[in-house]
């Protein structure tokens, strides 16, 4: 795909996030967001699946402040490939932010140390866009990488549809570091919650090996806010493994197929899934503090 044949520009985020209906605990963290642009300064990879609108670091911190979030985690998006510079520049001088980078499988220890010093605390592996075969994980490449990042307390974050991996927990048995799954395991609501992959995900969480982000319900359904058919999966995760859950905005909601949500509404949806105040504090404060190496509040 040439520069002149890029996919159409994605819808921009809502610039006016409203205050949540429920107060946000001190030290809360949005564990999943991206920054993009300016587009003429940070070039996208040639064959990206989408063209994001600018979503600048100042826009992101404005959203965090509007929601009452003290901390955030930026995740490297696929359209930048392994060039993490836009994310790293956004994190510079922002101790409230951490990052999840995309790196080559053979990345050296010196680069890991450099990224760690800049606030990176994990690596992302996108299985959705980069196919390795039906139900297969590139474990021959991932395990050596995980061994190199383990001394730094990092984890591997997967973007994958867990329902496509019937033996997920067996594949990841003995994996050297914790694993994180975005978007409630990224199981379309049409698949339900009885797939072997989703059950394997629950076992990994209950065994203390996996974390799951309560993010992007709109990526699992074609229904509109409040995405009622996502409730079943969310409530199972909350009931079975709240100690291994995180919340994230998925800001700025790129490549969304339904109406652009307001981030205040998305947070209110989370509070409906997790009505217990102490459990919300665990998911918003305690769990991300541990996983992303934030100072104790």
CATH number at residue 128: 3.20.20.140
**Strand positions, DSSP E, 177-234:** 179-181, 210-214
DSSP state of 278: H
Residue 296 located in a structural domain: no
- pLDDT reported for residue 133: 57
Residue 297 located in a structural domain: no
How many other C-beta atoms lie within 10 A of the C-beta of residue 132?
A: 13
The model's pTM? 0.95
**Strand positions, DSSP E, the chain:** 29-33, 71-75, 97-101, 120-126, 155-159, 179-181, 210-214, 245-247
Residue 224 located in a structural domain: yes
How many other C-beta atoms lie within 10 A of the C-beta of residue 128?
A: 15
Write out the DSSP string of 74-110.
Answer: EE--GGGTT--HHHHHHHTT-TTEEEEE---TT--HH
Residue 249 located in a structural domain: yes
Residue 256 located in a structural domain: yes
pLDDT tens readout for residues 124-138: 999 987 655 567 899
What 3-state class would DSSP assign to 33? Answer: strand
Enzyme catalytic residues: 250
Spatial strand order in the sheet of 245-247: 29-33, 71-75, 97-101, 120-126, 155-159, 179-181, 210-214, 245-247
Residue 200 located in a structural domain: yes
Q: What is the mean pLDDT of the chain?
A: 95
Residue 123 located in a structural domain: yes
Structural domain including 271 reads 3-291
What is the mean pLDDT, run by run of 10 residues, along the chain of 297 residues? 70 97 96 94 91 97 98 97 97 98 97 98 89 76 97 97 95 96 97 96 97 98 96 97 98 95 98 97 98 93
Residue 127 located in a structural domain: yes
Q: How many domains does the chain have?
A: 1
């Amino acid at each position: 795909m040439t520069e002149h044949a890029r996919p159409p520009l994605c819808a921009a985020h809502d610039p006016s996030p409203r205050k949540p209906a429920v107060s946000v605990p001190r030290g809360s963290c949005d564990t999943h967001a991206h920054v993009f642009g300016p587009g003429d300064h940070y070039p996208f990879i040639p064959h990206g699946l989408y063209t994001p609108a600018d979503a600048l670091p100042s826009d992101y911190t404005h959203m965090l402040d509007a929601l009452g979030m003290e901390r955030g985690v930026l995740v490297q998006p696929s359209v930048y490939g392994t060039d993490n510079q836009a994310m790293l520049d956004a994190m510079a001088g922002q101790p409230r932010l951490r990052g999840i980078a995309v790196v080559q499988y053979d990345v050296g220890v010196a680069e890991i140390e450099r990224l760690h010093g800049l606030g990176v605390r994990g690596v992302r592996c996108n299985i959705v866009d980069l196919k390795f075969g039906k139900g297969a994980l590139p474990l021959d490449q991932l395990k050596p990488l995980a061994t190199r990042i383990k001394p730094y307390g990092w984890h591997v974050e997967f973007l994958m549809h867990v329902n496509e991996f019937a033996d997920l927990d067996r594949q990841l048995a003995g994996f050297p570091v914790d694993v994180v799954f975005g978007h409630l395991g990224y199981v379309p609501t049409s698949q339900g919650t009885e797939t072997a992959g989703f059950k394997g995900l629950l076992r990994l969480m209950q065994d203390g090996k996996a974390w799951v982000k309560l993010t992007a319900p709109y990526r699992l359904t074609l229904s509109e806010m409040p995405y009622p058919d996502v409730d079943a999966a969310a409530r199972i995760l909350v009931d079975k493994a709240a100690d291994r859950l995180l919340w994230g905005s998925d800001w700025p909601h790129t490549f969304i197929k339904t109406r652009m949500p307001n981030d205040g509404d998305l947070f209110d949806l989370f509070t409906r899934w997790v009505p217990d105040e102490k459990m919300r504090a665990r998911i918003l404060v305690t769990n991300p503090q541990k996983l992303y190496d934030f100072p104790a509040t």
